[in-house]
Amino acid sequence: MSTPPAPPPPDPLQLFEHLADAVYLIDPETSRIVWCNRAGWTDLGLQRDDVLQHSVLSLQADVHNLPQWAQIAEAVRAVPRYRFIGHHRHRDGHQVPVEVLTTRLHHQGREYFLSVARDIGPRLLQETAAAQPEQRLWFALNEASDGLWDWDIAAGRAFFSPQMKRMLGFGPDELPPEPAAWTGRLHPDDAAAVRAALDEHLDGRQPRYEAEFRVRHRSGSYLWVHDRGLVCSRDAAGRPTRMLGMLQDISARKALEDQLRAQAALDALTGLPNRREGMRWLQAQHGLCRRLGRPLALVFIDIDHFKAVNDGHGHLVGDHVLQQVARLLQRTVRASDLVCRWGGEEFLLVAPDTALPAAGRLADKLRRAVRQAPADDAPPVSISLGVAASHDGEDLAALIARADAALYRAKADGRDRVALDGGDAAGAPPG
């Protein structure tokens, strides 16, 4: 009796549909996903067509831009199997921890990457539950921080945790185990201070090492980190032999601090620097111009009859007038100048390296810009301006007082004009 023929093997693509792990076919140049199996889209709460509109950059939270992807692509080409630990973005907003194994292949003359992504969330929970107390503590510290490092000072070697490598945009098998792999990524402006803080602890002058600084991500951008560590062993002569440390990514906090500083320096209504920021800049420019022996001009600017605008049209229209004048002033001044809101309807222009005649011409240019502004929802207005320029070694308060006096002379002489310190009002309206 003859043996019946074996059934034909299933279509390989159909086999992929039954895999529990997500499989993605990727264009190496753009990181675009050109094909995925069922798990590839169901694991993310998406439909297949949704995934095919995405790329590694949009689905992988730990790959930030094309320069980083280009480096990863080179790493994939250099090894038989490239491993990366990161987080896929789920449709509902949470992130799925994944281990991704990627290989390179060619089909019909084109290069592709084949990536198999496994959700390692359940595995991490099991490993934590099964770990010994010391291992559990290490795991907890690693997950609670953005990275751990262990520096064998005597051997000149360093261990970087997978979390730390992921924070920098690398796979767990990348970055050589040597201190230079870390120190070489420090921002040049921060490296000396970090080294000084580290040396103070290594020499026993500080009980622990702690520093905030910038470190270069694989993408080329810089992260702000809070780094702290402790020498945990010394030799018989008291020389440090081993040091442990923990890193935290504080980039979000630093960005918020920068935003708050910027907001604190700006006038909320006009968007111009406020009086405090203007005074800070004025003091710095005054000191610089005095040292270099260069002139510094001040121009006080006041919106004419502004109270009548508020009384006749309301404060919302008055606010609109302030915003419109602020925009005109900002557009008209030079890049080297600074215009700030001094208070109420008054502005101050600081013009470094500018003598009185040039400052007078600039002031009249501002006057004409406001006078000739096209009509919109706000009534037309004019401005009065008082100009003064510094004398050699003059006190800043005296310079401010002279510019302020010139402004009041321009207003007393009829408004809509420029008054130069020590001279007659100029730039009067026609007629």
Question: What residues act catalytically?
Answer: 345
Give CA–CA dist 27/49, Å, rounded: 16
**Element spanning 40, H or E:** helix 38-42
The count of other CB atoms within 10 Å of the CB of residue 326 is 19
What's the start-to-end Cα distance of the chain, in Å? 121
Contacting residues for 237 by C-beta, under 8 A, at least 6 apart = none
Contacting residues for 119 by C-beta, under 8 A, at least 6 apart = 43, 96, 97, 98
SS3 content of the chain, % helix, strand, coil (to 5): 40, 30, 35
Residues β-bridged to residue 36: 24
Give CA–CA dist 5/38, Å, rounded: 31
The count of other CB atoms within 10 Å of the CB of residue 147 is 22
Amino acid (one-letter) located at 377: D
Contacting residues for 117 by C-beta, under 8 A, at least 6 apart = 21, 22, 23, 24, 40, 43, 88, 98, 99, 100
The count of other CB atoms within 10 Å of the CB of residue 257 is 12
